[in-house]
Amino acid sequence: MRRAIGASSFLWSSPFCDGELWLAQHVKALGFEVFEVCVEDPAIVSAAAVAEASEAAGIAVSVCGAFGPERDVSHEDAVVRGQAVAYLEYCIDLASRVGSPHVAGPMYAATGVTRLLTGGERKAQRSRAVEGLRRVAEMAGERGVRLAIEPLNRFETDLINTIEQGLELCDLVGLRNVGLLLDTFHMNIEERSLPAAVRAAGDRLFHFHASENDRGAPGSGHIGWLEVFDALDDIGYEGQIVIESFTPEIKEIARAVSLWRPVAESPDALASAGLAFLRAVDTRRDVTGSGPAE
């Protein structure tokens, strides 16, 4: 199966803005079919500019959110929850106007919040997240946009770490346009078997991030990619596959994801090597570096 493969703006830029939409053409020239726009500051990203640039480049767009402390739908403070809802509404509007099938990301809580809560406190936090996500999911459904919720590893969130927890959250929201974004970097930490986790997600898998175990180029580490792609085939996944990594040159994002050293010679080198490898795996040509069997 040949799926559309994309690259995240995080590889080159943070915060991404309209002034860096030359990246749409650059990503296309590297051979990608999708450009994932990561929205950190809505004030500097406009739907009209993104749509114009993507159309000129002939590349599809994916919209991914960024969830800092002021954007937390699970927060105890109603003001903070309101800010998160407003931000998600912006992202949904952006997605609908630029043709992204989804808004993706860990939208249930602020990234980096890790606390030991009691069972009752955790239940209350999850209930607040469900209420906020249901509200924005209804708007997304009216716009033909899906929400792809991303479980993060235990060092980045205390709420949704596993696919099982993610599916439970989707069930609690209770709307069919709410599903999951799976990221192999996080799965490699939290799941006992990556292929089994993919199969468990089934038709609730809306989006997929391909990242090596060290955030390097797919194929350069120990992720068992052939087995992961077999699982994607088994569940009939036909959505986008986006390479997500980050550059330590951008201090804010490097600190946020604990990236203290380069994982490739350059963003272009990581993107190009990752694309060649994923395309080979996806079409089942002879590949090397596919990692150990699960």
| pLDDT above 60 (res 291) | no
Residue type, position 5, single letter? I
- In the beta sheet, which residues pair with residue 65? 39
What residues does each domain of the chain span?
A: 5-282
Residues 180-187, mean pLDDT to the nearest whole number: 98
Confidence of residue 202 (pLDDT cuts 50, 70, 90): very high
Confidence of residue 261 (pLDDT cuts 50, 70, 90): low
Residues 142-153, mean pLDDT to the nearest whole number: 98
Mean pLDDT of the chain: 92
Confidence of residue 245 (pLDDT cuts 50, 70, 90): confident
Confidence of residue 285 (pLDDT cuts 50, 70, 90): low
Residues 153-165, mean pLDDT to the nearest whole number: 96
What's the 3-state SS for 127-154? HHHHHHHHHHHHHHHHCCCEEEECCCCC
With the C-alpha atoms ordered 228, 286, 210, 50, is the resulting torsion angle positive or negative? Answer: negative
Residues 101-111, mean pLDDT to the nearest whole number: 97
pLDDT of 266 reads 87
pLDDT of 286 reads 54
265 catalytically annotated: no
Residues 126-153, mean pLDDT to the nearest whole number: 98
Q: Which of 33, 36, 150, 156 is catalytic?
A: 150
pLDDT of 265 reads 75
How far apart CA 27 and CA 207 sit, in angstroms, is 19
Comparing CA positions, the residue from 65, 142, 137 lying closest to residue 106 is: 65
pLDDT tens for each residue of 72-86 = 999 999 999 999 999
Q: Name the 3-class secondary structure at 181.
A: strand
| pLDDT above 70 (res 199) | yes
Write out the CATH class of domain 5-282: alpha beta
Q: Which of 20, 33, 36, 244 is catalytic?
A: 244
Confidence of residue 294 (pLDDT cuts 50, 70, 90): very low
DSSP letters spanning 208-262: EEE--TTSS-TTSSS--HHHHHHHHHHTT--S-EEE----TTSHHHHHHTT--S-
- In the beta sheet, which residues pair with residue 127? none
Confidence of residue 2 (pLDDT cuts 50, 70, 90): confident
238 catalytically annotated: no
